[in-house]
Amino acid sequence: MDQGVKEGIFRAVSREPFAQALHMSLTALSLGHSVVEMTYDPVLMNNIYARAHGGALYALIDEAFETASQTHGKIAVALNVNVTYIKSPEPGDRLVAQADEVAATRKTATYAIKVTNGGGDLIASCQALAYRTGKPVPFHAD
């Protein structure tokens, strides 16, 4: 992938308010592939049943999807995201979302995304569809 695009995506994530609020970090990026990590903090991320809020897990999935789908240097936006929640993480678990492009056309791309904990347990899985606008990403490295 283009090195300037890669650096731009890393920089954009490091400045993104939502990702920073949830303490997400982009740890790997290559063409059609992204890894984003976050520690499950029950004080910040619990639901009314004192378990991980689905929105917190979805946010991690969406960050991996967002970053993987921009690696071609063109803006891509979500058309459909289907998440299956499998297991609630334990407090303090380091969660890892890995997104991989599995199919692509000129206008769309499909991604498989999985969230695991430090022990390798599957927490959630996702299939996501992106629309490729054809417009260049605005955060290409200077």
Tokens of residue 18, six digits = 């939502």
In a domain, 141, yes or no: no
In a domain, 53, yes or no: yes
Decide: 127 and 112 in contact? Cβ < 8 Å: yes
Count the domains in the chain.
Answer: 1
Q: Give the model confidence (pLDDT) of 15-68 as tens digits.
A: 999 999 999 999 999 999 999 999 999 999 999 999 999 999 999 999 999 999
In a domain, 122, yes or no: yes
Q: Give the model confidence (pLDDT) of 121-142 as tens digits.
A: 999 999 999 999 999 999 765 5
- pLDDT at position 75: 97
Place of tokens 């984003």: 36
Please name the amino acid found at residue 65: F
- In sequence order, which residues have a C-beta less than 8 Å from that of residue 34 and are 6 or more positions away? 26, 28, 64, 65, 67, 68, 71, 98, 99
φ/ψ region of 122 (left if φ > 0, alpha if ψ in -120 to 50, else beta) reads beta
- pLDDT at position 141: 55
Which domain range does residue 99 map to? Answer: 3-136
In a domain, 116, yes or no: yes
Helix (H) or strand (E) holding 18: helix 17-21
CA 62 to chain centre: 4
Give the residue from 80, 76, 83 showing the smallest Cα distance to 97.
83
In a domain, 142, yes or no: no
| CATH, residue 127 | 3.10.129.10
C-alpha to C-alpha distance for 44 and 9, rounded to whole angstroms: 26
In a domain, 51, yes or no: yes
